[in-house]
Amino acid sequence: MDDPLYVSLKFVVAAALFAGFLIAIFFGRRRQNPFYIPWSIFLLSFGLFQLMDALNYKFGVLMRIELGQPPVGNDTLLFRILYITQALAMIFLFTASLEQSMIVPPRASRIIAASLTILVLYFIVIPLENTLISFGTLEIIIFYLFTTEFYGFIFGFIVVCSAFLLIPVFIRYLKLTLISKNKRIGWKTLITFLVFLMLLGLAFLMTVRRKVIENGMSENAFAIFEIVYSFFVVSIIAIYQSQSVSHGIETIIVVDKEGNPLLGYSPFRRRRISFDEKIIAASGYLSGLFHFIQDYVATTDKEEFKELKTTSSTLSFYTGEKIFMIVQSKISGKRLDKTTNMVLTDLDNYLIDFETNRLPTEQQVEDIINLLEKNFYLIA
């Protein structure tokens, strides 16, 4: 389609995706969402793809390829950049879904993304012009229902895989909804399901977009659907980030019986927290708070004294034989209580010779962090 209005709307869609990228960055950082970076990069790369798609339509590159005409001017360059940006968008989408599914650690998902990127560059940048064009015009029939071309089949397959990677995420949020009264978790569950449906629609879009007529569809109707759906993608991802919260544990602080901080740990970042000004300033407050817990909270069964709710999170307090633990989380529930009490028992057994007002050794700190990571990472 070479309609000037369609090309103009494609530029508007690209601008909307760039705006969505900034919104995702803003809300991702504000909500401390550990998965916002790959989702934001997906919006950015998808916006670049829409921009290049508009340029290819504007200069008639795709029409000449479909008609089997020889390339003119920068046709091959524009065509190659188009598929590079599309491939990168699909790779970052897959990476975001893989990282959020927590099937593999974040570092592993990024290694997979880097490997796929190298593969894309090998098949799209290096090939000679005739090889690239032949790939772009190779027809594939899916279940005798849809006709697509080589790249459409590959990209559609990647998006379908990305969609199914979100199923365990949806199940995880659904379980959290059952144990938490936080309405934001319920919204997150619903929006995760909407993202799953969105990806299935995007897979269809990526699969048949170059073979619209062959699949018996109207080019005009498909063009309208594509533009509207692109805005839908931006809206859902932006809402996805605005509703994103660290639904589990944000910070764990381990203190001794006198309230002296021994170490801080962030489960979803999987790293130790340094004793910066924030923890140092809070140590005096924690000391008095833990004396109160030791003298009163630990001797009562009243649940209202087991946690302290703030405007942004919940501080849950747990007492052991040797140490206290304060857990900062977005929600509290039976699973958190059970896990923390189990960890406290293990730490009491491990620190049986530990004395108050003394710092643990580096080996003890490393062992404690390993125990916290093993038990809290997946529910963080």
* Fold match flag (4-242 vs 249-376): no
Q: Is the pLDDT of residue 164 over 90?
A: yes
125 vs 251: which has the higher pLDDT: 251
Q: Is the pLDDT of residue 214 over 90?
A: no
SS3 314: strand
Nearest 5°: phi and psi at 84?
Answer: -65, -50
Residues 87-116: tens digit of each pLDDT: 888 888 898 888 888 777 667 778 888 888
- The predicted pLDDT at position 297 comes to 53
CB 316 within 8 A of CB 341: no
> Which of 3.10.450.50, 3.90.650.10, 3.90.79.10, 3.30.450.70 would CATH assign to domain 249-376?
3.30.450.70
Tokens coding 250: 């944000």
140 vs 150: CA distance, rounded Å: 7
The angle, 0 to 180 degrees and rounded to 10, between the axes of the packed helices 150-165 and 183-208 is 170
348 vs 2: which has the higher pLDDT: 348
* Dihedral sign for Cα atoms in the order 292, 296, 299, 302: negative
Q: Is the pLDDT of residue 75 over 70?
A: no
142's CB contacts (< 8 A; 6+ apart) are 148, 153, 207
Q: Give the residues across from 140 on adjacent strands.
A: 148
- Classify domain 4-242 by CATH architecture: Up-down Bundle (1.20)
155's CB contacts (< 8 A; 6+ apart) are 86, 87, 90, 206, 207
Highest mean pLDDT among 102-106, 181-185, 208-212: 208-212
Beta strands at 146-149 and 139-142: parallel, antiparallel or unpaired: antiparallel
Q: Is the pLDDT of residue 349 over 70?
A: yes
Average pLDDT score over the chain: 76
310's CB contacts (< 8 A; 6+ apart) are none
182 vs 178: CA distance, rounded Å: 10
> What are the domain boundaries of the chain?
4-242, 249-376
20 vs 235: CA distance, rounded Å: 8
121 vs 199: which has the higher pLDDT: 199
pTM across the whole model: 0.66
- The predicted pLDDT at position 44 comes to 92
Average pLDDT over residues 340-363: 82
Comparing C-alpha atoms, which of 324, 321, 372, 376 is closest to residue 349?
A: 321
179 vs 331: CA distance, rounded Å: 9
Tokens coding 340: 């923390």
Q: Is the pLDDT of residue 150 over 70?
A: yes
Q: What is the strand order of the sheet 271-273 is part of? A: 271-273, 261-266, 249-256, 323-329, 314-319, 307-309
295 vs 249: which has the higher pLDDT: 249
SS3 142: strand
Q: Which helix (H) or strand (E) holds 336?
A: helix 334-350
Average pLDDT over residues 320-336: 74
- Residue 281: which pLDDT band, with cuts at 50, 70 and 90? very low
What proportion of the chain, given as a percentage, has pLDDT over 90? 3
The angle, 0 to 180 degrees and rounded to 10, between the axes of the packed helices 150-165 and 75-101 is 20
SS3 39: helix
* Burial label, 50 (beta-carbon count in 10 A; 0-12, 13-18, 19+): buried
225 vs 239: which has the higher pLDDT: 225
166 vs 200: CA distance, rounded Å: 11
Q: Give the residues across from 329 on adjacent strands.
A: 249, 314
- Burial profile 122-152: b = 16 or more Cβ within 10 angstroms, e = fewer: ebbeeeeeeebbebbeeeeeeeeebbbbbbb
- The predicted pLDDT at position 247 comes to 45
